[in-house]
Amino acid sequence: MKKVMEYVEKYKPSPEALKIVDDVLKQGDVRYSDPWMYVMVAGFITNGAISIETTDIKNPQEDKEITVKGPQEYLKRIAASLLKEKGFCIEDMEKSFSGGIVDVIGRKGNEYILVECGPCRISKPIDYLGRENVVLWVLTKKPHGIVLYEITRGENWDRFIEFHKEEQFEGLRKSMEDIDFS
């Protein structure tokens, strides 16, 4: 708990940003309960390094022609349809990308939209947005329909990612001090 409080002091997440992380990424799924990443991602949101736009999708269309891999078939078909509407081709599904497995990968030239269908590992926004020309979508099924969360780099991304890298390096350095290599 002490370590989490250190992250809270450094990343300064707002209560609103912590709720956003819970609603958008965790979605009540206990598998995604990493308190350190919770605080970090919320810090990125609070400090304007990550932006999230929310869109309710009324009458979502499924791309029934696409072959779907893995779970969440319905959301993947909707993701494929939305990506195609934006002029993106479906590059792959359930594919490794920048340290994670992405449900659907859309590509247009050198631009990527990575789609997570339902809850996902909390660190994915930081991991994926660390690559150039990447946008992360999280699609979720709600009682009133489908909600699309579009996660992008915010205006303070460059400054805050440098702060984050320094914090990670400092944590690694401190850990190395505690290891006896003799």
Digit-coded pLDDT (tens) for 75-126: 999 999 999 999 999 999 999 998 889 999 999 999 999 999 999 999 999 9
Ranked by mean pLDDT, the top range of 54-63, 152-161, 173-182 is 152-161
CB 5: neighbour CB atoms within 10 A? 11
CA distance 125 to 119: 12
CA-based torsion, 98, 104, 109, 111: positive or negative: negative
Least confident of 64-73, 129-138, 156-165: 64-73
CA distance 7 to 34: 12
What SS3 class is residue 5?
Answer: helix
CA distances in angstroms from 38 to 11, 73, 124, listed in the order given: 11, 27, 11
Q: Where are the domains of the chain?
A: 2-177
Strand 50-57 relative to strand 145-153: parallel, antiparallel, unpaired?
antiparallel
Structure token digits, residue 163: 């702060």
| Helix, strand, coil percentages for the chain (3-state, nearest 5) | 40, 30, 30
Structure token digits, residue 132: 């150039």
CA distance 135 to 10: 26
- Report yes or no: 135 and 128 within 8 Å, Cβ to Cβ: no
Helices in 12-72 by DSSP H: which ranges? 15-21, 35-46
CB 146: neighbour CB atoms within 10 A? 19
The per-residue pLDDT for range 18-52, each reduced to its tens digit, is 999 999 999 999 888 888 899 999 999 999 999 99
Output the pLDDT for position 182: 62
